[in-house]
Structure formats: C-alpha cells, structure tokens
Amino acid sequence: MHSLNQEIQAFSRNNLRKQCTRVTTLTGKKLRETWKDATVEVVEEEPGGGGGCGYVQDLSLDLQVGVIKPWLLLGSQDAAHDLELLRKYKVTHILNVAYGVENAFLTEFTYKTISILDVPETNILSYFPECFQFIEQAKLKDGVVLVHCNAGVSRAAAIVIGFLMTFEEMEFTRALSLVKSARPCTCPNPGFVEQLRAYRVGRGNSGDD
C-alpha cells in the first residue's frame, strides 16, 4: 500500500502555493509547468526569457503522441481524451498515472488508474510492478497501450523509461534519450531522475529481453 494520504498532505503543504514550476531539461530547454484547476499546462519558454509565472498563453491541446514501441505510446491527458486520436493509433489499453484525471471512454478501452503525484518526494519506483504488469498484459494480448499523466512530461515518462530499463536492459541515459526522441517534452522531475539512476544500479545486470 502506498501512503498516498501522506503524499497528498506533504504535497498540499509544500507545493500547492506554487502556481508554477520552471524546469530546465538535460538539453537546456526551459519549460514552465503551470497548474490551472486540476491540470498542468506546460509551455516552452523563450531563451533568456524571464517573465513571471502568471498567465500561460499557449492553451492549445497537446495531442502529440510519442511512439516508444509500436505497442507502447506516451502522451498527455489531452491525447487520452481524444477518441479519434486513440483510434488512429489503435489504442486498446490506457494506463492513467495522473492525479485527478478521469478516464473518458470506459466502454472503449481497458483502463488502469494509479494516482501518482508529480513531486520529487514521490517514490516512483514503488509503482513500477503494477504499471509494468498492465503494460505487459496489453502487449501479450497484441494490444497498444497509452501511458499518460496530466502533461505527459514527468510521471508517465518515468514509468515508460523504467519499463525500457527493465525489459530492454537499457541504461537510464539511453532510455531517456529514446523517450525524448519520441516525445521531446519528456522531462521527469529531479527526484524521479535520481530514483531511475539508482534503480539501474540496484538491478545489476539481470533482466530479460
């Protein structure tokens, strides 16, 4: 069991006051995450742009789907809520690791919902077994699984990176690079990055293809 209540309490105390978070990716790209209602909007900042964390001008839907494998996709809640897009990519299973995002098409797809908070203190590794089992089940059924969170930048990306590290025996940097090439806005929070690096070390060289 995850101490989700404790995570929520810690999140409420430490993070709810922060309307906005700035993130610099490994390639130097600057992103701004802004909470609006119960969702996160991510916009890329102009180089050298200071500015406040106030109004987000880019309100367009994020329908870019990262194709990690023919059967493994990464995206945002916008993609998960676009039926036409899901059908285009032949999605059969949807892994929702967002917090507070409803599943839209319960009769159309097989869902699994695991509420994960996008804060560095979250133990993302503890969610791996349950997530990986769902992904593997979809693959064994010749399905296509979409992994999404709110913005499709941190939580869902960390799950996909961990999956590649586990089942493809990839080093963290290679897995991150592959996921970023499929979905350029990928940027797990610093806590997730630290855990993923340690996860590879802790696993040793075991695993299967």
Per-residue confidence (pLDDT) for residue 13, from 0 to 100: 45
149 catalytically annotated: yes
Which residues, including other chains, have CB under 8 Å from residue 14's CB and lie 6 or more apart? Answer: 119
pLDDT tens digits for 114-163?
Answer: 999 999 999 999 999 999 999 999 999 999 999 999 999 999 999 999 99
Which is more confident, 76 or 1? 76
Contact indicator for 203, 175 with CB cutoff of 8 Å = no
Please state whether the predicted TM-score (pTM) of the whole model is above 0.85: no
The Cα–Cα gap between 156 and 153 comes to 7
| Model pLDDT, residue 17 | 39
Assign domain 61-203 to its CATH architecture: Alpha-Beta Complex (3.90)
Q: What is the mean pLDDT of residues 13-31?
A: 50
Q: What is the pLDDT of residue 61?
A: 85
Full DSSP string of 65-121: -EEEETTEEEE-HHHHT-HHHHHHTT--EEEE--SS---S-TTTSEEEE-----STT
Q: What would the pLDDT profile of 81-96 be if each residue is shown by its tens digit?
A: 999 999 999 999 999 9
pLDDT (tens digit, 9 = 90+) per residue, 196-206? 999 954 454 43
| Options 131, 149, 185, 187, the catalytic residue | 149
The H or E element that residue 203 is part of is: helix 190-203
| Mean pLDDT to the nearest integer, 104-111 | 96
In the chain, what is the straight-line distance between the N-terminal and C-terminal CA atoms, in Å? 29
